[in-house]
Amino acid sequence: MAPSSNSTEFTDQGAAIPSAASNSLAVIAQPLAEFSQAKSYPLEIQERPFFDTAEVYGPYLNEEVVGEALAPVRDQVVIATKFGFTFGDDNRQQILNSRPEHIRRAVEGSLMRLRTGVIDLLYQHRVDPDVPIEDVAGTVKDLIAEGKVKHFGLSEAGAQTIRRAHAVQSVTALQSEYSLWWREPEGEILPTLEELGIGFVPFSPLGKGFLTGAIKEGATFGSDDFRSKVPRFAPAAIKANQALVDLLGQIAKDKGVTAAQIALAWLLARKPWIVPIPGTTKLNRLEENVGAASVELFEADLSRIAGALHEVKIQADRYLAALQARVGR
């Protein structure tokens, strides 16, 4: 996953997010699922390309790229974007802000940049501890009533926050990190989502590129690459965690697919309402990722993967402490 020189410090996928028209879109065309607002999961999945972006990517420029690229086919795609930050004078400092008046300004800006009259799925990017989640959900509820938003989502929110928001406005989807090397959502989040009928959109399903097998011992990252600051990508952690990739690689070889496809197929096999969004800047990787939807994992395959996960204890944190503090509230 080649980094873009225009990437911001904060990206969900971990790979660089293109912020200029000359870059390939990294915002995923995994052809799955527009979620239902009903309390039960959608039994019929509409296979429409699903693009995930946010005002923070760039900032702003990624939404402009998405809007320009998808304008001719707007009625054939699902677009998700996110609010929740204001930016410093250099457009790099990110300050949590989910005050109702800011949400409205952010949505108007996103609508303009995306060249659309409605946002299909609007996430709060991170929970703002200074704004009650009921106020956030209520504001989005009003925007839905006004026809500017179709569905409400949360990102990296804790179970109790999800419940409180859902009581005000039905939450359609939660976006949080989940992959073969980050399984914390299995403890409390997935049972909560299943109970409430909320879809799950895992970001970094390929472990910010690590699960592809492309990142080896001795790998280095540029200063503008988010992973250069992530403890899990420190040299010692890469060396320790390589054992998981090696085991996945053997399973992939036996099935005639790639390690990345195994990692994505594993997520798709977990629950029918899980829709991973792998990010990439390369067309061949995009095609590889989409191909994962055709990979069938049998019980024996899942048992082998479970065995691999049992054998390897993943080392190091997924975030710096400052970013981890924004998670699970």
Residues 166, 35: Cα–Cα separation, whole Å: 15
Q: How far is Cα of residue 49 from the mean position of the Cα atoms in its chain?
A: 15
Of 57, 60, 178, 319, the catalytic one is 57
**For the CA atoms of 292, 296, 300, 306, what is the dihedral angle to 10 degrees?**
30
Q: Where is 198: in which H helix or E strand?
A: none
- H or E segment to which residue 222 belongs: none
Q: Indicate if 57 belongs to the active site.
A: yes
Q: For 218, which DSSP code? A: T
Using CA atoms, how far apart are residues 254 and 258, in angstroms rounded to an integer?
10
184: nearest Cα among 328, 321, 36, 11: 328
Tell how strand 94-96 and strand 85-87 pair up: antiparallel
User: How does 219-241 read in b/e, with b if 16+ C-beta sit within 10 Å?
Assistant: eeeeeebbbeebebbbeebbebb
Active site residues per annotation? 57
